[in-house]
Amino acid sequence: MENHTPPSEEVDLFNPELFINRELSLLEFNHRVLEQAKDENVPLLERLRYLCIAGLNLDEFFEVRVAGLKQQQVYGSTQRGADNLSATEQLSRIAVRAGELVAEQYRLLNEVLLPHLDIQRVRFLPRSAWNEAQSRWIKQFFKHELAPILSPIGLDPSHPFPNVLNKGLNFIVTLKGRDAFGRNSSKAVVQAPRSLPRVVRLPEKCAGGENDFVFLSAIIQENIAGLFSGMKVSGCYEFRVTRNSNLFVDDEEIDDLLRALEGELPSRFFGEAVRLELSEDCPDSLEKFLGDKFKLQKPDIYRCDGPVNLSCLAAIPDSVDRPELKFAGFTPAMPSSIRQHASIFDAIKRNDILMHHPFDSFAPVIDFINQAALDKDVLSIRQTLYRTGLNSAIVHALVQAAEAGKEVLVVIELRARFDEEENIELANVLQAAGVQVVYGVVGHKTHAKMSMVVRREGRKLQRFVHLGTGNYHARTARLYTDFGLFTCDEDMCEDVHKIFQLLTAMGREGKLKKMLQSPFTLHDSLLDLIEDEIDNALEGKPARIMAKMNSLNEPQVIRALYRASRAGVKIDLIVRGHCCLRPGVKGISENIHVRSVIGRFLEHTRVFYFEAAGAQLVLLSSADWMHRNFFDRVESCFPVIEPKLKARVIRESFEFYLADNIQAWVLQSDGCYLRETPGDQQRFCAQQALLDAIPST
């Protein structure tokens, strides 16, 4: 291999033009999700599901990302990222791109998905299509199910504008005439009950088929006049407000994180408004009226040619029993090494066990804790929980273990965004069973995915660990791609033990032998590994970097990758979500290629590969290459050592995904993504190849 010489010309790697804005990159990710809803190769009900996912993504984007930018504006923050865009500049560009995405969502719904669903006799009946029998049933439904719990509020000096809930369905109603007290109120607000589904299935006795639905909003609009006796309703228009959902908990000032979060959660429903969604036919005068009430300007207001909450359709794919309109089912594989042993501990002692979910079953992870709970020789279990769910089989096993007298310690991250309330309840349930619960480290979310069992075997204590890239959640293990590793390697077990000690005892963790962790060693170690590849390239040794992750935005890592590219290191990045690195810039990043794969399963694995002069270092991690993961979270990163397992990770993470020409998108230097097409090549889909590799049972 030829020696490379470093480029002689000096370049400014701090140039803002070398960095793509994080928020705009996030919107481009949502565009790629929306494209899945357009893909005719995707089953129809799954296309509808992707449309809903795009809507939910936008909700969270406004609740968190836009809300944060607006806060920067309010407080006059001068904070800028590596791209050097101010909060105002970002909000301006977001409004344009988000507006385009919203318009495309409704065009796709109205012109493509609803007509195709109608052909398949999955129908959403507009008011104009209701027959007499349907109208009668809907009127009775309104009378008995809705009217008793609706509270219309006329707007006058004694009835100020109500404080509407975050993302709730509301109606602004225009009225003529006087009420029973002689008041001449021209406007009213009606809030739809949160307890009722936003889409209602018509009963067989009046439906044209078993999958006929009507929107709750249409039911309310059709019968709204009954709420204003003696007055005339001249207009009724849907609206929805998205509010700032960041929780403001000062880590330095709290004594009890659980109680602080319990007190803060209600504010999520009534934070500052950041977005107003309005029905397409709402008059401009009412748009201005509502905008003024919520202190929102024209760029913050989005017109919707359909239901203002697209995610209201999210329940439809699961409620419609039409398997031919959905992805084909599959049975995940059970690792042969586990099948061959009655005890999972015996299997782990024989060899490390690697699992690639959802293609491999998540059941062994549950069995690991279940067997530990029942095994008389198991003395203790330690576990991190981030997003797990109260009814999780793992939680039940942990409770059972504690009730059996075992030492059970669980580190729960209460601040997992939008799961805080469930995690608080989970903590209370575990504590009631005798589990020792801690909430991690103040100021640093515990995002590491680790489980450790200590078992007495003869005269010695044997430790077994499970390390993963994803959460201990059985449902998402069927929807997300993640790696999990079982091992009883002494060094790895000792490292996991030290990390748990760090989380619970608050002492120094001591030097780890094989693992890396945030916020202490992961960032610096990755920079060192990149520098090693640079040195190897300059010395003519094999040099290669490959990484697969959810997001990439940390400036120091990006600059290090630019330096590596300039030194001749070939770099392939598979980044599902936002990516702030700009590939393909002449003299800077010509050796860097970035792709995103969007498919049936949410790509969630974090895998890092360094050629290491032929030694091939493979790391799995809970962390993305983001500032928060390196500096504000407790993360774990661990090597895959066994050669066969290492080869499998390389094959399934990189060889497959770099060959994908069906579901891959390639990032261009201008920040846009182009979808890969097979052309004259053989079609290859990484996720489908992994599904096809599952052994038949």
Handedness of CA 178, 179, 184, 185 (dihedral sign): negative
Q: How far apart are CA 575 and CA 629, in angstroms?
A: 15
SS3 at position 673: strand
DSSP-derived pairing of the beta strands 353-357 and 480-487? antiparallel
Alpha helices in 195-334 (DSSP H): 216-223, 257-264, 284-293, 316-319
Quickly count: other Cβ atoms within 10 Å of residue 175's Cβ. Answer: 22
Alpha helices in 604-695 (DSSP H): 627-631, 643-650, 656-659, 686-692
Among 357, 447, 473, 604, which one carries the catalytic annotation?
Answer: 447
Strands (E), 219-272: 232-243
Among 348, 386, 362, residue whose Cα is nearest residue 623:
386
One-letter identity of residue 614 = G
Among 608, 538, 550, residue whose Cα is nearest residue 576:
550
444 is catalytic: no
First to last CA, the chain: 47
- Cα-based torsion angle of the residue sequence 18, 20, 22, 23 in order, rounded to the nearest 10 degrees: 140
Cβ contact 97:192 at 8 Å:
no
One-letter identity of residue 203 = P
Residue 597: strand pairing partners: 664
Displacement of CA 171 from its chain's centroid (Å): 30
DSSP-derived pairing of the beta strands 664-667 and 673-675? antiparallel
- State the SS3 of 118-180: HHCCCEECCHHHCCHHHHHHHHHHHHHHHHHHCCCEECECCECCCCCCCCCCEEEEEEECCCC
Q: How far apart are CA 228 and CA 184, in angstroms?
A: 12
Helix H or strand E segment including 634 = strand 633-639
Characterise 330 by phi-psi region: left (phi > 0), alpha (psi -120 to 50), beta (else).
beta
Q: How far apart are CA 33 and CA 40, in angstroms?
A: 14
One-letter identity of residue 31 = H
Handedness of CA 423, 311, 690, 609 (dihedral sign): negative
SS3 at position 411: strand
Q: How far apart are CA 687 and CA 601, in angstroms?
A: 8
Instruction: Determine phi and psi for 642, rounding to 5 degrees.
Output: -60, 125
Which residues have a catalytic role annotated?
A: 447
